[in-house]
Amino acid sequence: MTAMPRFVPDIQANDGTSSALNGFDVASVRGDYTAPPYLLKNTLQRGEILVMFGDSGVMKSFVAIDISMHVGLGLDWNGFTCRRAGVLYVCGEGGAGVRKRFRAWMIANEVLENDDQPDVYVTTEPADLIGDPGQLGETIRFAADALGRSIDLVVIDTLSANFGEGDESRTDDVHRVLRNLQTVTGGAAVLLVHHVGHGDKTRERGAYAMRAAADRRWLVERPDPGELIAVKFLKAKDEALASGVVMRWQTVPLGWFDGDGDELTSVALELSDGEMPRPTAVITGKAQKAVMIALRSSGGMTKSALVQALAAEKIAKRSVYSAVEGLLREGHIEEVFTKLVVSVK
């Protein structure tokens, strides 16, 4: 193909109040590329926002602590290569119990007093991501000085405890929080520990903007009762989606004692060799039931046809897509070419 001559268009200069947006000539992609530094290879890198969510009691905070301590020591996490980095853990609702959790991790992983210590700094005061994001920025700088290492991972546990005077269900408030985080964290990765929706336990609580803007989304689940915890990777914006992990919790004696002389305990996690027992998935909600009825009666439909068919029942497109995603995840339906069909079990 004959190369076309390049030219510069004749564009009138502005009045000096505007500047051009940063960009690149597509031809430059033929050159070298420097990949952003990772924290967990193929799983989390600097500059990304990871939303890790789950129901109450599934031990998602323990997963966040486990990740933080592995990054703080540069230890591979559940088979993922780890690059050592400084971590700021903002525990807005942990109180005194968070000390027990970190001590349990140190004991379970045999990190002794004279050993190399994790580069993790913990604050138990909540941040105000809406009203005073600069406070988090100052805390990051303080933590970096205290550890003698730059902070490349900021953990917010939980988002609601550190959100500030805003509403998680308001799109503009969510966008404001995310912009503030990107501004003050200096390119660090951000791990947001979040709750599930009140009705749909397979998605984050609050505005859809959180789900759309996240670079990565992880769902934490735990059968009740049970000692296994599943971390399911649901989204990776710019690369292939890695497999999730299954972990096991264990009770750890802390060597601390209460006023009656009884030893205190906490919990730490470890990688499990077993598979997560799959709970019986129940089809719930008007939208999911309507999707199943439509697919059974038709023998299979595309998503767009399904949306049109259910519009007559006053089920919104967004609700249909959410129902389809949940049914796919639980194995009730599957996608064959472009059609959704009911799974044969």
What average pLDDT score do residues 276-285 get? 60
Mind listing the pLDDT tens digit for each residue in 105-152?
A: 999 999 999 999 999 999 999 999 999 999 999 999 999 999 999 999
Quote the pLDDT of residue 345: 47
DSSP state at residue 204 = B
Tokens linked to 74: 């540069």
Mind listing the pLDDT tens digit for each residue in 173-211?
A: 999 999 999 999 999 999 999 999 877 777 899 998 999
Which residue shows structure tokens 């339906």?
Answer: 333
- pLDDT of residue 73 exceeding 70, the answer is yes
CA dihedral 169, 172, 178, 180 (to 10 degrees): -130
Sheet with 245-257, side-by-side order of all strands: 120-123, 86-91, 151-157, 189-195, 49-54, 216-221, 228-236, 245-257, 263-271
- pLDDT of residue 299 exceeding 90, the answer is no
DSSP 49-62: EEEEEE-TTS-HHH
Quote the pLDDT of residue 233: 93
Q: Is 6 exposed, middle or buried (0-12, 13-18, 19+ CB in 10 A)?
A: exposed
Tell me how far apart the alpha carbons of residues 296 and 290 are, in angstroms, rounded to a whole number. Answer: 10
